[in-house]
Structure 1
Amino acid sequence: MVLASKPATPSILERHDATWQDYLTICNHPTLDWQKISFYQGWLWVSMGKEGPEHASVSDLMTAIFFAWAFLHPDVPLQSYGRCLIEYPETHACAPDLVLYKGENIPRYQAGEPRRIDLRFQRPPDLVGEIADTTLSLDLDEQKQLYASLGIPEYWVIDVKGRRVFAFALAEDGRYRAIAQSQVLAGLPIALLEQTLERLANETNTAAANWLLQQLQCQA
């Protein structure tokens, strides 16, 4: 199978009439080094590009924020599976930058199983997120539709260049609605996430995460 390339970004492959078999051909290719992949309703999107320093820094910061919240809520089980491949065979596939499970029935890998989360047998994550360094419009459109269709309760899009966080919660009609405070990580205002992002201009991501932890401790 040959996918059409976007002329301006040859490392991005996209097709709107793909099949599940097309997805499997790319996903399981022995030499194709893809970095991100998504499939939904015939839409297949593959990134061959490597993760840049800003993307990596922000991604690690968001994961550190999960750990900061967990430190203040030791009785709440949390598991981060960032960038893990998630599938509902024949219809959905994705590898979100951020994947967070909260509470009970968190997927656990068993030896001999495929190295992915199969939603036929495991529940969806409670929160997923995308670090939008060069993919902001896609993350607010196609990826947003994909995650809503999987019934994932909360979705974050982190705009690396704009230092913004777009946060959404799944409404009863199956669509995402913007929120000002995380519903999965109770007590975490989205504005505080944005303030933490802004600190990356002059600080390390570990220092920024420590600052956020201090703010949450003051709120407690």
Structure 2
Amino acid sequence: MANPPPILQTVQSDTWVEAAWEDFLSFADDPTLASGRFYYDQGYMRIEMAPLGSLHGQDNTILSTLILLYATLKNIPIKGLTNTSFRKASVRESQPDLAFYIGENLRLPPRNNSPVNLNEVDPPTLVVEIAASSLEDDLDRKRTLYQRLGVQEYWVVNVNASKLIAFTFSTTEAMQISESQVLPGLRFAIVEEALRRSQTEDDGAISRWLIATFNQG
């Protein structure tokens, strides 16, 4: 008789716990936990099951809109993915809020419902995490995870303060930046202004402001 699937209550969520890759997969691939977000790095896993509120959703939408508008107006090739799992089998996995492939000649993931296999395609160029209760972890363990995955640039949005903290990665260093390196000319002061405007303006008004601002640059 087949063994029953593991029960989430046996593992503490929203924190890093030691686990074998096979145990992690039993959770990550369980369809009953489809609303969770899953991370794995060097023998530790993190399962995030906290509900996401309007604040998280609004900032997620604004960031996605801003990035796509900027790339469109600056003729930068881009492909965006939302809440997608990126897997380097037996080693690490992540499920960021937003991920973008930016530039020419990238090995893009196929259109299917499986986690993106990073042994076959390139890692995303830019990853964005929208942080509320997870801010400390996003700036620490996840930052290291994305650097190891080969991501070039990493943004963390502090939704409670409408602030953006961003890093550019090399294989050995993580350097905080105030202007995007993968979307040349995009200053993070504009990103933070868009986040502040979203508190009182609708998405259409913000998009029109962004288009006018980007066309001036």
Which residue is equivalent to 2:137?
Answer: 138
How big is each residue's C-alpha offset from its partner over 1:27-52, in whole Å with a ceiling of 9 and x where there is no partner? 11232243311000122111123321
| Aligned-residue offset at 1:71 | 2.2
| Aligned-residue offset at 1:61 | 0.7
Which residue is equivalent to 1:22?
Answer: 23
| Aligned-residue offset at 1:210 | 2.6
The ranges of structure 1 where at least 4 consecutive aligned residues each deviate by more than 6 angstroms after the TM superposition are: none
How big is each residue's C-alpha offset from its partner over 1:63-89, in whole Å with a ceiling of 9 and x where there is no partner? 101221122123x32000121110000
Distance 1:83 1:30 in 2: 15
Which residue is equivalent to 1:88?
Answer: 88
- Identify the range of structure 1 (186-195 vs 199-208) with the bigger mean alpha-carbon deviation: 199-208
Q: Which segments of 5 or more consecutive residues in structure 2 lack a partner in the other structure?
A: 1-5
Letter in 2 for 1:84: T
Distance 2:34 2:119 in 1: 26
Which residue is equivalent to 1:102?
Answer: 102
What count of residue pairs does the alignment treat as equivalent? 209
Which residue is equivalent to 1:34?
Answer: 35
| Aligned-residue offset at 1:116 | 1.9
Q: Aligned-pair RMSD on alpha carbons?
A: 1.7
What is the DSSP-based 3-state SS (H/G/I as helix, E as strand, rest coil) of the residue aligned with 2:127? strand
Identity of aligned pairs, percent?
Answer: 28
| Aligned-residue offset at 1:106 | 4.2
What's the TM-score, normalizing by structure 1?
Answer: 0.88
CA, structure 1 residues 63+195, in 2 after alignment: closer, same or farther (shift >3 Å)? same
Letter in 1 for 2:64: T
Conserved? CA contact 1:128–1:155, under 8 Å: yes
Conserved? CA contact 1:55–1:133, under 8 Å: yes
Distance 2:138 2:207 in 1: 24
Conserved? CA contact 1:64–1:206, under 8 Å: no
Listed as ranges, the matches of 1:70-85 within 5 Å are 70-74=71-75, 76-85=76-85
What is the DSSP-based 3-state SS (H/G/I as helix, E as strand, rest coil) of the residue aligned with 2:120? coil
CA, structure 1 residues 142+59, in 2 after alignment: closer, same or farther (shift >3 Å)? same
Q: Which segments of 5 or more consecutive residues in structure 1 lack a partner in the other structure?
A: 6-11
Conserved? CA contact 2:82–2:98, under 8 Å: yes
Conserved? CA contact 2:14–2:50, under 8 Å: no
Letter in 1 for 2:128: G
- Do structure 1's residue 168 and structure 2's residue 167 form an aligned pair? yes
CA, structure 1 residues 69+41, in 2 after alignment: closer, same or farther (shift >3 Å)? same
Distance 1:156 1:13 in 2: 20
Conserved? CA contact 2:19–2:45, under 8 Å: yes
Which residue is equivalent to 1:118?
Answer: 117
Conserved? CA contact 1:34–1:46, under 8 Å: no
Distance 2:35 2:20 in 1: 18
Distance 1:107 1:21 in 2: 26
Which residue is equivalent to 2:3?
Answer: none
Conserved? CA contact 2:35–2:49, under 8 Å: yes
- Do structure 1's residue 147 and structure 2's residue 146 form an aligned pair? yes
